[in-house]
Amino acid sequence: MDNRIIKERSSVSEAKEKFLGAITPLERTDMIAIDEGVGRVLATGILAPRNVPHYRRSAMDGYAVRSADILGASPTNPVMLQVCDEVDESTCSQVSTGACVPDAADAVLMEEDTICIGDMIEVRAQVHPGKNIGDIGEDVRQNEIIFYKGHLLRACDIAVLASLGIRKIKVYSRPLVAIIPTGNDLIPLEDSSEVPPPGKTLDINSLMIGLYSTQWSALPRYCAIVPEDRELIRKAITDNMDADLIVISGGTSVGERDYVPDVVASMGRKLVHGVGLSPGKPTALGTIGDIPVLCMPGYPAAGLVALFAFGKAAILKKGNIPQIPDITVKARLTGKINSREGYVSYARVILEGNTARPLMTAGAGILSSIAKSNGFVIIPENVEGYEEGNEVDVVLIE
Q: How far apart, in whole angstroms, are the C-alpha atoms of residue 293 and residue 283? A: 11
Report, in Å, the least distance between residue 183 CB and a second copy: 8
Q: Mark the segment that binds a second copy (CB under 8 A) among 85-93, 170-178, 185-193, 229-237.
A: 185-193
Residue 147 interacting with a second copy (CB under 8 A): yes
Report, in Å, the least distance between residue 56 CB and a second copy: 8
Q: How far apart, in whole angstroms, are the C-alpha atoms of residue 282 and residue 301? A: 13
Residue 113 interacting with a second copy (CB under 8 A): no
Residue 4 interacting with a second copy (CB under 8 A): yes
> Which listed residue (5, 31, 128, 353) binds a second copy by CB under 8 A?
5
Angle at 93 between CA 89 and CA 95, to 5 degrees: 145
Report, in Å, the least distance between residue 60 CB and a second copy: 9
Q: How far apart, in whole angstroms, are the C-alpha atoms of residue 303 and residue 296? A: 5
Residue 397 interacting with a second copy (CB under 8 A): yes
Q: Mark the segment that binds a second copy (CB under 8 A) among 18-26, 211-219, 263-271, 381-389.
A: 211-219
> Which listed residue (68, 80, 224, 327) binds a second copy by CB under 8 A?
327
Per the CB < 8 A criterion, the answer to whether 396 and 27 are in contact is: no
Report, in Å, the least distance between residue 273 CB and a second copy: 16
Per the CB < 8 A criterion, the answer to whether 290 and 269 are in contact is: no
> Which listed residue (44, 82, 163, 390) binds a second copy by CB under 8 A?
163
> Which listed residue (74, 323, 354, 368) binds a second copy by CB under 8 A?
368
- Nearer Cβ to a second copy, position 69 or 157? 157
Of residues 82-101, those binding a second copy (CB under 8 A):
96-100
- Nearer Cβ to a second copy, position 22 or 157? 157
Q: Mark the segment that binds a second copy (CB under 8 A) among 20-28, 63-71, 255-263, 312-320.
A: 255-263
Residue 55 interacting with a second copy (CB under 8 A): yes
Residue 47 interacting with a second copy (CB under 8 A): no
Residue 139 interacting with a second copy (CB under 8 A): yes
Residue 256 interacting with a second copy (CB under 8 A): yes
> Which listed residue (68, 71, 117, 211) binds a second copy by CB under 8 A?
211
Residue 72 interacting with a second copy (CB under 8 A): no
Of residues 8-37, those binding a second copy (CB under 8 A):
35
Of residues 263-322, those binding a second copy (CB under 8 A):
298-300, 304
Report, in Å, the least distance between residue 269 CB and a second copy: 26
